[in-house]
A = this chain, B = another copy of it.
Amino acid sequence: MLSSTEENYLKAIYNISERESGSVTTNNIAQVMQTKAASVTDMIKKLADKELVDYAKYRGVSLTEKGRGLATQLIRKHRLWETFLVDKLGFDWDEVHELAEELEHIRSDELINRLDQFLGQPKFDPHGDPIPNASGRFTIRQQTQLSDLKPGEKGEVVAVHHHDDALLRHLAEIGIELKTNLEVLELHAYDQSIQVRLGTGKVLQINPGLAQKLFIRRSN
């Protein structure tokens, strides 16, 4: 039985290792967990004792199979709760992350499987992130960063990277949400910004930072 804190560390390690290659460093975890390196070392030892991470002093950690499995289940719970909050309770997509951070620690397989059924076994959460199934398998989807599209290419917004509430609110404001269709009109060499036309006809300048955080499925 893991504490909520242990679960959060596992998830942090999982997320870091998804976006960076090699082993995960103490400082890296400290930053994500908003804590101090010394505290991370304490916790790493505990997780290593429980065989959830492989750990070599001064060399960082990586998840074991067991650790990765638990992290995946936690992500499943997080994303299912987010889906519940948006689809059933009518929250906006920028309001659900913190709540899901608490709800994900409710410990009951029965609960999460019933919730999954109730929601119609969704494959993606309100931010377009894939929801692993009960065996921990993710649905793979073809997607590209908006910043990689060439002028003339069209597509549909399928995910946003990631849980920055201000970003999500901004997107909603300028008219971008999941399933929004768009076409790249021009790339401006001067500031790397991208001009796009939305399905609604609205034309927008998207700055490069934002364009990296929007994931598109090409549609032609």
Interface size class of A (residues with CB under 8 A): 10 to 19
Query: Are B102's CB and A90's CB within 8 A?
Result: no
B interface footprint on A94-134 (CB within 8 Å = 1, 0 otherwise): 01000100110011101100110010000000000000000
In the complex, whether A88 has a CB less than 8 A from a CB of chain B is yes
Query: Are B114's CB and A99's CB within 8 A?
Result: no
Task: List A156-208 residues whose CB lies under 8 Å from chain B.
Answer: none
Distance (Å) between the CB of A96 and the closest chain B CB? 10
Contacts of A114 in B (CB 8 A): 89-91
Query: Are A89's CB and B106's CB within 8 A?
Result: no
Query: Are A89's CB and B102's CB within 8 A?
Result: no
- Copies per complex? 2
Query: Are A99's CB and B106's CB within 8 A?
Result: yes
Query: Are A102's CB and B107's CB within 8 A?
Result: yes
Nearest B residue (CB) for A106:
B102
Cα distance A3–B114 when bound, in Å?
A: 28
Cα distance A111–B90 when bound, in Å?
A: 10
A89 in complex: contacting residue of B89, B91, B111, CB < 8 Å: B111
Task: List A51-107 residues whose CB lies under 8 Å from chain B.
Answer: 85, 88-91, 95, 99, 102-103, 106-107
Q: Which 7 A-B pairs have the closest CB atoms?
A: A89-B114, A102-B106, A89-B118, A99-B108, A99-B111, A88-B118, A103-B106
Q: Assuming A85-B111, A91-B114, what are 8 further A-B pairs, CB within 8 angstroms?
A: A89-B111, A89-B115, A99-B106, A99-B108, A102-B106, A102-B107, A103-B103, A103-B106
